[in-house]
Amino acid sequence: MDDERKPGGVTAHYTTPGYLDRSRWLGFHQQFTLLRDTGAREILEIGPGTGVVSAALRACGLRVVTVDIDPGTRPDVVADVRRLAGAFPAASFDAVAAFEVLEHLAFDDAALALEQMAAVTRSHAVVSVPYSGMTWHLAVRMFTLNKDHPLNLGLRLPAFWRRRPMCDEHQWEPGLRDRPLADFRRLLARRFEIEREELLSDTLSQVFFVLQRRQDRPA
């Protein structure tokens, strides 16, 4: 993404009925749950979007700071994710979150953004990206061991027949022919240990990672 490129009409986009569909709300729940389960008390959310997740976390008594390059999302701090270290001191937060953000950057810039996230977190990062493909899915709700993680059976077939993302705003997506999910895992592993990986509980169309910053490297 060029430095001058800033999306327009962001607030309106995030509040349209088509955007706030059922899978979006399930995604909000998954984002909230994964962040809460890290035990973080101070959180930086990159790209707050509608503000639903940050509001829910604040309602639980957590300190949440939001940051975005676009002032239209009304972030607490306007800054570029590729330059977080210029906006915040090192190790400022217990956790840093970037949900559906990194795919809007060139892949090399996503690597830079992850470096910056590692610089400002003391411990965790939680990220999600779209997972391009087709889903065969069966949800079993007769019983569940964990109400936040219902038993779901499904298979996500990567879109190996496509080279370009379906969304014009995305620079890349895991699952495409030239961008397997393994590439993104390797990118994460440069600065983080992957503690947990899971797909969006309903459609399997997003992949979430809970990450621990590598302590053998300086922040």
pLDDT digits (tens, 9 = 90+) for 84-115: 999 999 999 999 999 999 999 999 999 999 99
pLDDT at 22: 81
Task: Report the CATH number at residue 117.
Answer: 3.40.50.150
Residue 2 within a domain: no
Task: Determine the Cα–Cα distance for residues 2 and 72; give it in Å rounded to an integer.
Answer: 18
Query: Which of 21, 86, 13, 89 is closest to 47 using CA atoms?
Result: 13
Assigned domain for 5 exists: no
Q: Which residues contact 49 (CB under 8 A, 6 or more apart)?
A: 14, 73, 99, 100
196 pLDDT exceeds 90?
yes
Nearest CA to 193 among 185, 202, 201, 184?
Answer: 185
Residue 136, beta-bridge partner list: 155
pTM above 0.75, yes or no: yes
Asked whether residue 93 is assigned to any structural domain, the reply reads yes
Say if residue 155's pLDDT is above 90: no
The arrangement of strands across the sheet holding 192-199 comes to: 77-78, 63-68, 42-46, 93-99, 121-130, 206-213, 192-199
Total structural domains in the chain?
Answer: 1
The rounded distance, in Å, linking the Cα atoms of 36 and 126 is: 10
**Average pLDDT, whole number, for the chain?**
86
Structural domain harbouring 149: 10-213
Residue 159: pLDDT band by 50, 70, 90 thresholds? confident
Q: Are 111 and 187 in contact (CB under 8 A)?
A: yes
Residue 94 domain flag: yes
- Please, which pLDDT band fits residue 151 given cuts at 50, 70 and 90? low
From the CB of residue 119, how many other CB atoms can be counted at a distance below 10 Å?
A: 19
pLDDT value for 148: 58
The answer to whether position 209 is within a domain reads yes
pLDDT at 5 over 60: no
For the chain, give the percent of residues with pLDDT over 70: 82
Q: For residue 133, what pLDDT is reported?
A: 79
DSSP 179: B
How far apart (Å, rounded) are the C-alpha atoms in residues 216 and 10? 39
Kindly state whether residue 218 falls inside one of the protein's structural domains: no
The number of residues in the chain equals: 219
> Do 120 and 65 meet the contact criterion of CB atoms below 8 Å apart?
no
Within-domain flag for 44: yes
* Residue 136, pLDDT above cutoff 70: no
96 occurs within a structural domain: yes
Which pLDDT value is given to residue 9?
Answer: 44
Q: Which residues have CB under 8 Å from 106's CB, separation 6+? A: 1, 171, 172
Q: Which residues contact 71 (CB under 8 A, 6 or more apart)?
A: 78
Query: Two tokens at 42?
Result: 């101070």
pLDDT tens profile 39-88: 999 999 999 999 999 999 999 999 999 999 999 889 999 999 999 999 99
